[in-house]
Amino acid sequence: MTAEYVSPWMNDELEALRDSATRFFTKEAVPAMPKWSEQRHVDREFWLAAGKMGLLCPTVPEEFGGAGGNILHQIAITEAQSRTVEKGWGNNVHSGVVTDYILNYGTREQCERWLPAMVEGRIIGAIAMTESGAGSDVRAMKCRARRDGDEYVIDGAKTFITNGLTADLVIVAVKTEGAEDPKAITLIAVEAGTPGFERGQPLRKIGQHAADTAELFFDSCRVPVSNRIGDEGAGFPALMTQMPQERLILGVNAVVQTEKAVALTLEYVKERKVFGKPLFAMQNTRFVLAECQTMAKAARLFLDHCIVAHSNGVLDNTTAAMAKWWLSDIQCKVLDECVQLWGGYGYMEEYAIARMYADSRVQKVYGGANEIMKEIIARSL
């Protein structure tokens, strides 16, 4: 039996946070998953309960109502969620993405106005970049904003937006009319209830059914200039600066799901009888799981390397791209092998392994398609 591996970034405080989050998710989220999957979004009451537990926006400084933690606290919470609950709750976007845009590029007034409520779960955050013709190619977006006095007037649409149905605050990426660079992107925060801002019905996906994913529409939507995040035209550099963290969080989910798939399958094949023997007695089963366990271990080691690098401020775009494509690829490969060992039961939605399999496929698409990740890596060679 190999010795239990402990990540080098883990310490007693983070382990306690992860354990506390795991207990909370097990008690409050797991029983509610069928309901959330049916209605296609997580109840707002759960967001508020998570806020009371200190599981939202842990990187927000105390002066803005947060715990004053760092990215490792967010990763510990992400690990707990991924180990316990199927992908659905959009906290990684709310806490791991939107929060940092406001902290790093917003004004003090914006931080004071939005962050305390985000920490408490009273405001749910989303970021809207993707359009029907602009996914990985962010610069191809057509959503526009024109300056009209002290307001921006936004026209366009966004799709596949996490937390889109329930978000109270959406950071929208637009191109500003009249800008010197026609490809320059500006980030503008649009608040729920703003005239001209509408949402479509929750999108029906093959997996991640509890995830609130929607289309957003902007028709002469007037937003105060004071809602702009950062300088006009400075959105693309901000997006590129924040992408390594977003891709790292996707990698965390990928590795935890890979490890969980191996553990669930190992337990199953030791109990399942085939030709009068446990399925694990078959050499092919043992060899397949040996390969899966090796891939899971290698993925964990690479992930931990990236986590340590990011916590020290040195995770570069190329390495983050490597992590995003390779870890999600390993996740899908291992889940495919594990589902095969479950036989017909692996195709039944009532089993966690089947839901994990369906949930995993989009990991190779969002956050930048894996083909784009390879292009990023190739350009660095």
Among all chains, which residue has been given the structure tokens 């795991």?
A: 22
Q: List the domain boundaries for the chain.
A: 12-123, 127-233, 236-380
For residues 106-115, average pLDDT: 98
Which DSSP string corresponds to 81-98? HHHHS-TT-THHHIIIII
| Fold adopted by 236-380 | Butyryl-CoA Dehydrogenase, subunit A; domain 3 (1.20.140)
Q: How far apart are CA 155 and CA 164, in angstroms?
A: 17
**pLDDT of 1:** 44
Position 249 pLDDT exceeds 90: yes
d(CA 320, CA 303): 10
Tell whether the model's pLDDT for residue 139 goes beyond 50. Answer: yes
Q: Does residue 261 carry a pLDDT above 70? A: yes
The CATH homologous superfamily for domain 127-233 is Butyryl-CoA Dehydrogenase, subunit A, domain 2 (2.40.110.10)
- The catalytic position among 86, 215, 246, 259 is 246
Q: What is the DSSP letter of 202?
A: P
> Does residue 40 register a pLDDT over 70?
yes
Most confident of 130-134, 136-140, 151-155, 178-182: 151-155
Across the chain, what does the average pLDDT equal?
A: 95
Indicate whether 177 pLDDT > 70.
Answer: yes
Percent of the chain with pLDDT over 70: 99
Q: Note the pLDDT of residue 4.
A: 85
Q: What one-character-per-residue DSSP string does 144-192 give? A: EEEEETTEEEEEEEEEEEETTTT-SEEEEEEEETT-SSTT-EEEEEEET
Tell me the two tokens of residue 41.
């979004």
Give yes or no for residue 347 having a pLDDT over 60. Answer: yes
Segment 327-345, tens digit of pLDDT? 999 999 999 999 999 999 9
Going by pLDDT thresholds of 50, 70 and 90, the confidence category of residue 280 is very high
Tens digit of each residue's pLDDT (9 = 90 or more) over 78-91: 999 999 987 789 99
Using one digit for the tens of pLDDT, what is the confidence trace for 94-103?
Answer: 999 999 999 9
Task: Band the pLDDT of 349: cuts 50, 70, 90.
Answer: very high
- Tell me the residue type at 101: Y
Query: Do 17 and 10 meet the contact criterion of CB atoms below 8 Å apart?
Result: no
Q: Mean of the pLDDT values across residues 279-308?
A: 98
pLDDT over 50 at 28, yes or no: yes
pLDDT(119) > 80: yes
Work out the average pLDDT over 277-295.
97
Residue 2 has pLDDT above 60, yes or no: no
For 231, phi then psi, to 5°, come to -80, 155
Q: Span 287-302, mean pLDDT?
A: 98
Phi, psi of 130 (to 5 degrees): -70, 140
* Mean per-residue pLDDT, 164-187: 90
Least confident of 113-117, 130-134, 269-273, 274-278: 130-134
Question: Structurally, what CATH architecture does the domain formed by 12-123 represent?
Answer: Orthogonal Bundle (1.10)
337 carries an active-site annotation:
no
- The conformational region for residue 369 under phi > 0 = left, psi -120 to 50 = alpha, else beta, is beta
Q: What is the pLDDT of residue 3?
A: 66
DSSP state of 223: E
Average pLDDT over residues 280-300: 98
Q: What is the pLDDT of residue 137?
A: 80
